[in-house]
Structure 1
């Protein structure tokens, strides 16, 4: 009989935690992720359903934390919604039930690797990797950018905390880039 075991995006059984100087990189395997897009002409209906279900739909370039759902804007009338994996493993199904046919919902959990970065000052690391002026953008800022050759989403959780969403298939490459930038900032 086959015994299957889930592996993280980095190919391990448990989440990776890497510390380089003051920087801590934590792989987040405890999050479920889905994309939500308003169907044409149904934005108001989606907003009402989302409010009733406790699903935030933040404005452009913004992230909004909540419980159990948090979300960030990805494109006009589109968001990524996340929740704890333990209670929302079937997040897409749960969101479809809550939002009805006013939204198109797709499962995204296994398509992305999620890294949380924490340090007193993240700007030196991030300015080596992408074109986001981390010091200038406000808490709750969310954007799509490029790190190395990878398209990623960056969410500023706080001055000393950022969450990165990168393609799962390039998880090791993204981690390597983060480690290299951390080492080079000394």
Structure 2
């Protein structure tokens, strides 16, 4: 009987992340993140905030925002709901880690393989965003996070540096379509 070895692939189906540089814009697939969703249980929000802050040093952002820490990024996604992102190398089972900290104050769901993450950097990303979605991209500042549609795909856009650095999360099952949209928009302004 032959042995079978499994090798992880990125959302775009490669052994290594895809990196595209078009003009001054770089689009980088980021498969190195563990992602967990977090939803406070009824009337347990204050307890959840306290546990995360004291036991894990994790702060939860207000609506429309993200918080970038050394090891963890937290993104507000809805009323009493967040996504938590951490390096997969140091947090291989991040959802279980978070669940241990929050206990019964929140529901935690593993999301790592549900999303594709693209980090985008460039001198001026406002025209890129204007071609992708109806977001008021000129008003985005560092730490803003919002949901929007890109080519009919529900995505999250996180502004890391106003007009210069973004992270876009989209459904992993549509990774190639989202990547194509990003590349096409970048080429149109290059």
Which of the five TM-score ranges fits, normalised by the shorter chain? over 0.9
Matched, 1:31 2:33: yes
Q: Given the two structures, how large is their TM-score scaled by the length of structure 1?
A: 0.98
Q: Give 2:184's aligned residue.
A: 180
CA distance in 1, matches of 2:60, 2:45: 10
Structure 1's consecutive aligned runs of 4 or more residues displaced over 6 angstroms after TM superposition are none
CA distance in 2, matches of 1:101, 1:67: 26
Structure 1 runs not aligned, ≥5 long: none
Aligned pair partner of 2:165 in 161, 165, 170: 161
Matched, 1:132 2:139: no
CA distance in 1, matches of 2:5, 2:39: 37
Structure 2 runs not aligned, ≥5 long: none
Q: For the Cα contact (< 8 Å) 1:54–1:69, is it kept in 2? A: no
Give the total of aligned pairs.
186
Q: SS in structure 1 opposite 2:139? A: coil
Q: Give 1:100's aligned residue.
A: 103
Q: For the Cα contact (< 8 Å) 1:113–1:166, is it kept in 2? A: yes
CA distance in 2, matches of 1:30, 1:20: 23
Q: SS in structure 2 opposite 1:9? A: coil
CA distance in 1, matches of 2:178, 2:59: 28
Q: Given the two structures, how large is their TM-score scaled by the length of structure 2?
A: 0.96
Q: Give 1:51's aligned residue.
A: 53
